Amino acid sequence: MAESTGPRVRRQPQQARSRARVEAILAAADRILCHEGYEALTMRRIAEESGAPVGSIYQFYADKGAVVDALGERYLSSFATAIDALVDRAVAGELTDLVGTMVDVYADLYRSQPGGMALWAGRHLSPELARADEASNALIADGLGRIVEHLTGRPGGEQARRATRMVVWASNAVLHEVFKGVGEPDLETVAELKRMLDLYWEDLRERLAHP
């Protein structure tokens, strides 16, 4: 990704009209990434797809990389929100199927973010976004760790921290493969992921019960 010589985000939209324009710009970029790929994503192409003048896009984003970073941050924010909601459900006693619920929630996020899948599949990430991706994975693993501690009634320790990282890495790898292409995703593979993680979860519960 090309480096920008100026600020990557030039200004935040304040008025409703400006916010709507930014939404249109990001939605257009998402569609282009999904259907045409990263190389097709240019400021002119975003303008054509969004109906916004090229000059107005530059008011908010210094370059193509800044648009991509804004999209990436939005994708990652939705993942953080999801794990917070899962933790709340666990604390409220509403998370009776940890693996099935977790996989379904994140599969829905992958399905709803086709542009993000195209971006991550090609790894067209700035150093800043790559670091944010790593931080997001760590945040999700930490949330899973809190859920594990609540469901088992035991402090997780290093064993649980290592296990939750494994779950995040494995789930990411499988869901990226399932949702990175065009057409209908292979939901049987998602079901296989659940079976695999169910066995791992039962094994982890046993190990935590008998340290």
Structure tokens that stand for 34 in this block: 């999904």
C-alpha to C-alpha distance for 30 and 179, rounded to whole angstroms: 15
- CATH number for the domain including 56? 1.10.10.60
Is 22 found in the same domain as 79? Answer: no
Is 198 found in the same domain as 152? Answer: yes
Q: Whole-number mean pLDDT of the chain? A: 87
Cβ atoms of residues 84 and 140 within 8 Å: no
Determine the pLDDT at residue 11.
55
Determine the pLDDT at residue 116.
80
How many domains, the chain? 2
Determine the pLDDT at residue 14.
57
Is 56 found in the same domain as 24? Answer: yes
Q: Is residue 11 part of a domain?
A: no
Determine the pLDDT at residue 147.
95
pTM, two decimals, is: 0.83
Is 134 found in the same domain as 43? Answer: no
Tens of pLDDT along 50-68? 999 999 899 899 998 999 9
Write the burial class of residue 12 (CB in 10 Å: 0-12 exposed, 13-18 middle, 19+ buried): exposed
How many of the other CB atoms lie within 10 Å of CB of 82? Answer: 17
* CA-to-CA dists, residue 191 to 105, 174, 198, angstroms: 13, 11, 11
- CATH number for the domain including 106? 1.10.357
Is 162 found in the same domain as 73? Answer: yes
Question: Per-residue confidence at 34, pLDDT binned at 50, 70, 90?
Answer: confident
Q: Is residue 152 part of a domain?
A: yes
Tens of pLDDT along 157-211? 899 999 999 999 999 999 988 987 666 888 999 999 999 999 999 999 999 988 7
Look up the domain containing 99 and give its range. 65-209
Q: Is residue 133 part of a domain?
A: yes
